A and B are shown apart, each in its own frame.
Chain A
Amino acid sequence: MIKARIIVTLKNGVLDPQGKAIEGALGGLGFSGVGSVRQGKVFDVELQDSDRAKAEAALKEMCERLLANTVIEDYSIAIT
């Protein structure tokens, strides 16, 4: 079995109002010096396959076709 972690984040230049709100809340809690906060998503995926190359290809396709909206989001895949 292969375990992977996929991280989906907003592309640079795409406004992230949720990240902005979190950034403001951190400031409100007294954390000074927070430059910026960007919110993203994490997917932990378990694959029954044990072939690493095949798994990587499948995970990439999952990102392209569903997990990320590549109009606004980037993704990274880490097989653990």
Chain B
Amino acid sequence: MKSAVIQLPGLNRDRDMIAALTKISGKAPVTVWQTETELPDVDLIVIPGGFSYGDYLRCGAIGARMPVMKAVAEKAAKGVMVMGVCNGFQILLEAGLLPGALMRNASLKFVCREVKLEVANANTAFTRGYAPGEIIRCPVAHHDGNYFADPGTLSRIEGEGQVVFRYAEGTNPNGSVNDIAGIIGEGGNVLGMMPHPENLIEAAHGGSDGRALFEGLLGKAA
């Protein structure tokens, strides 16, 4: 699987993502700086977590308007797999590649802890490595992960199975509506999620629950 990791000033989880992709796919991803207007021919594009542009204006708002995001949108429209984690999810929403918005955590506090996730839809390229309804562990670290969508959008994404991960067992860390932790776009090839699967892929992380996400993708795009 060939992959690319997008880099913007202020993103700081790119190294974790690069390490995870390298370890699991056996191939180091290409890194692409924000000013690039074209992307290499890859199977998967990842926007990692962090604090692009210092979270100025709104989380991900400025990053989403950088030239590279136009190229990401073009690739997404062609069916290339795109995944945004944490700030990457915020950027995908701000870029209009996924519906809804992420707001300040209901607690107003930055949360950095482990949560439980329910695989709400295992029938996607990103979640095929899990069983339907499986509960997995996953770390979160964010200040603005409180997913919101207007009632019409919410019922549409719920009805279409676009909610793929939900916080489970009372671990919703941010007040997110319907415990939403991750969603996919209508085409099924764009995923945004607040938790960090790349930080739970090997024994040294204390578990490998996040690994199946990447391995599932690998099966799809190998």
Contact = CB atoms under 8 A, between A and B. Distances in A.
Interface of A: 14-15, 17-18, 21, 65-67, 69, 71-72
A71 B61 contact: no
B108 interface: yes
25 contacts: A14-B103, A15-B106, A15-B175, A17-B103, A17-B104, A17-B105, A17-B106, A17-B107, A17-B108, A17-B146, A17-B175, A18-B108, A21-B108, A65-B65, A66-B61, A67-B57, A69-B58, A69-B94, A69-B101, A71-B93, A71-B99, A71-B100, A71-B148, A71-B150, A72-B103
A25 to B, nearest CB: 11
Given A66-B61, A69-B58, A69-B94, A14 B148 contact: yes
B149 A18 contact: no
Interface of B: 57-58, 61-62, 65, 93-94, 99-101, 103-108, 146, 148-150, 175
Contacts of A72: 101, 103, 148
Contact of B101 (A65, A66, A71): A71
Report the 4 A-B pairs with minimum CB-CB distance, sorted nearest first: A71-B101, A72-B101, A17-B106, A17-B108
Nearest to B103: A72
Contacts of A15: 103, 106, 146, 148, 175
Contact of B61 (A14, A21, A69): A69
Given A17-B175, A71-B149, A66 B65 contact: yes
